[in-house]
């Protein structure tokens, strides 16, 4: 039987505090699912919210404004997890670049790996733009997400 929670357990909070790839699934205007890969993600300390920083022009924002139901998917603890929630979108925030923050109120967290499956290697990625800029943006976004999760 799949493990379900009404908030993120501590191990999943710690995973999401690292740079991991998270799938953000929204519903578009044609009522079809639309997926985006995001990495600027931060959970609240109590595991009841997840903040996501994105560029200000993405289609996910329009989708959420029309239908706030979202799903987040990510690898953790040798498995794959789904977060079901209701999302809201901030106004445009101008810093080094223009951002918006998506705040997801967690409704349910579920281990959704197929029966008998075990993830043996966490996906990794590298940033292909200037290292100094990447560090600046990461720091700026982290501070922004901390502020939104208060």
What the chain holds in terms of domains, given with CATH numbers, is: 4-148 (2.30.110.10)
Q: Is the pLDDT of residue 99 over 80?
A: yes
Q: Is the pLDDT of residue 34 over 90?
A: yes
C-alpha distances out from residue 65 to 83, 132, 148, Å: 19, 34, 18
Q: Where are the alpha helices (DSSP H) in the chain?
A: 10-16, 59-66, 131-148
Classified as helix, coil or strand, 3 is coil
Taking only the tens place, the pLDDT of each residue in 77-94 is: 999 999 999 999 999 999
Report d(CA 56, CA 37) in Å as an integer.
15
Q: Is the pLDDT of residue 1 over 70?
A: no
What pLDDT shows up at residue 41? 97
Report d(CA 121, CA 135) in Å as an integer.
25
pLDDT band at residue 120 using 50, 70 and 90 as cut-offs: very high
pTM: 0.94
């Amino acid at each position: 039987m799949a493990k379900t929670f009404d908030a993120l357990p501590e191990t999943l909070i710690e995973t999401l505090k690292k740079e991991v790839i998270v799938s953000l699934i929204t519903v578009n205007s044609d009522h079809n699912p639309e997926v985006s890969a995001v990495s600027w993600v931060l959970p609240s300390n109590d595991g009841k919210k997840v903040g996501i920083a994105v560029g200000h022009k993405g289609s996910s924002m329009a989708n959420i404004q029309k239908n706030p139901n979202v799903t987040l998917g990510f690898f953790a603890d040798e498995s794959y997890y789904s977060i079901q929630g209701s999302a809201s979108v901030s106004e445009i925030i101008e810093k080094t670049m223009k951002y918006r923050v998506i705040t997801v109120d967690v409704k349910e967290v579920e281990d959704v790996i197929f029966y008998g499956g075990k993830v043996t290697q966490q996906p990794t990625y590298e940033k292909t733009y200037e290292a100094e800029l990447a560090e600046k943006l990461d720091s700026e976004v982290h501070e922004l997400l901390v502020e939104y999760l208060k």
